[in-house]
Chains A and B, each alone.
Chain A
């Protein structure tokens, strides 16, 4: 949590300097979405795009093989406005808020706190589930992750770099006590997250009622990615199928924001 605190502080500082600039020539730098981006990166890139579409802010998507290194802290996507770079879903939402654009102005304090709690559930629990599946699950790593992560490099970096990245992510999972979990534990954690999100959504149009918020963008990014990305492991999709309202929600958002 301390790192998130530092990040927030950093972003706030940058913002106080740069928040005045116009929303012009804004680019979102992402990895190659179809061939390179991993589950969670794809989800975050999609979430940011959905959020900006909901806020009706114009932007260009630039797919780059080295998006991870263009980012100041390794997190994608990166939003570039003039000379300012902001990376990751949360900081981008905060930045847009500082610009005076907010999707949550109609919410009360308690609703806002509730929304934030559920977003952090997606951000932490679901993200760890995704990290586990992508890097820890051997079959997924061997068949999908290694090839996608290495796709933008030449041999021998094609195999060396995924190996090094895997080592780094596994140690991150170990620090979070996720490395000793079994696949069943992970499915259970996913189920817990989906159940909570499903009950929050219940029969509403959006997570927080009739108006879209950033929580919808984030949730859609992750759910859509889990449903559509082909993985050798079907546990996550199977767990998600128990919650049809989440499925319908995803279809609805897709139809609304991504089909002209």
Chain B
């Protein structure tokens, strides 16, 4: 290639709508391990471009897709005229393939909000078609360990965003709400994709989990009677529509998700669980953001046995009903919380960006929720009768889409005698918040 100057696509924006184009060649610069057939699937759509405008747009989409599916760390599309014909173009992709091996150590937050340290190693696109393998070992300050190895493979093709993955993990954790220890060895197979012209997110999971619950001296008998080994095999299906601009703290958009989990084909667990999540956020005047979340869960035993204590519905903690101990809302036996058969939670938030505006927010909330017991004859009545309410004020800090930290003054307003309530300043950290 001789000396050439490339310009940004915006230079010819709206000017090239009627300029016919013919793609003569697509060239990749920087490919070492990526397979030819993978690249072909990714860019074959470019040849269908009729106008230059379309070609520019599609090239950009293709470059972005190459990065998003994990084929490339970096990809830039450069469009050049062809020396052979007037209408001919050559698309050059300047790409950088993922490093052959990545490893790291990081401190983070577990889904339960505990600080953790993890060591991870991985290899992206190891066979040249976007496949990735990742392993990690995580250790939390409370002494929980987990080891995880996962393999994922994307489906390649024009604007395809679906993949299959399999994860093998082993974890050992203490569950403070049950006052018991649980060891899990699991194999999870997952499919992620879209439905209805990519407007709905769809995922299917097959879980096979060998769980060992070990009661401690503090555990109530209601927990202890579930102790021992159980095998759970379940199928989870989830469909969601998500238009939120930033899942971790949306300023506008909605999320609607419906999921089901069925266990009972094989293994000890036998139940059907439904969950509905609704979230909506809208901007208000003076930069205020109003957001609301609702979550409803219902659980039904399918066999004659009660649903295992590890499969039940739990509520409470800094990530949903703030001001209550983690997973402690609902029926108790002595000092252990034994979960329920249905739960309902709703939280309304008011945010106001502070400085820096994309990271720090003033935050006020009102949260309410309740859990009905597994044996309840009339769960709806029980959900109404045992409602808990808390309100609070504080600061919320978010870091990109990875992490959210809340410092709140929480004030439980309505509670039941025996609840573990927190009045005062509390920190909540994690990824999934209601």
Contacts and interface: CB of A to CB of B under 8 A. Distances in A.
Interface stretch (B168-176, B214-222, B352-360): B214-222
A68 B221 contact: no
Interface stretch (A153-161, A169-177, A189-197): A153-161
B221 A66 contact: no
Given A80-B221, A83-B334, A153 B227 contact: no
Contacts of B334: 83
Interface string A107-138: 00000000000000000000000000000000
A69 B228 contact: yes
Contacts, number: 37
Interface in A67-98: 68-70, 72, 80, 83, 85
Contacts of B231: 153-154, 157
Nearest to A67: B228
Which of A64, A69, A161 has the largest count of B CB atoms less than 10 A from its CB? Answer: A69
A9 to B, nearest CB: 15
B210 interface: yes
B80 interface: no
A65 B227 CA distance: 10
Given A80-B221, A83-B221, A83-B334, A66 B210 contact: no
Interface string B97-120: 000000000000000000000000
A85 B227 CA distance: 14
A68 B266 CA distance: 23
B225 interface: yes
A80 B220 CA distance: 12
A69 B210 contact: no
B268 A154 contact: yes
B227 A69 contact: yes
A80 B221 CA distance: 10
Nearest to A160: B210
A69 B221 contact: no
Contacts of B214: 69
A72 B228 contact: no
B159 to A, nearest CB: 41
Nearest to B227: A69
B224 A154 contact: no
Interface of A: 64-66, 68-70, 72, 80, 83, 85, 153-154, 157, 161
Complex A-B, nearest 7 residue pairs according to Cβ-Cβ distance, in ascending order: A66-B228, A69-B228, A69-B227, A154-B231, A154-B267, A70-B224, A157-B231
27 contacts: A64-B225, A66-B225, A66-B227, A68-B228, A69-B213, A69-B214, A69-B224, A69-B227, A69-B228, A69-B229, A70-B215, A70-B224, A70-B225, A70-B227, A72-B215, A72-B217, A80-B221, A83-B221, A83-B334, A85-B224, A153-B231, A154-B266, A154-B267, A154-B268, A157-B210, A157-B229, A161-B229
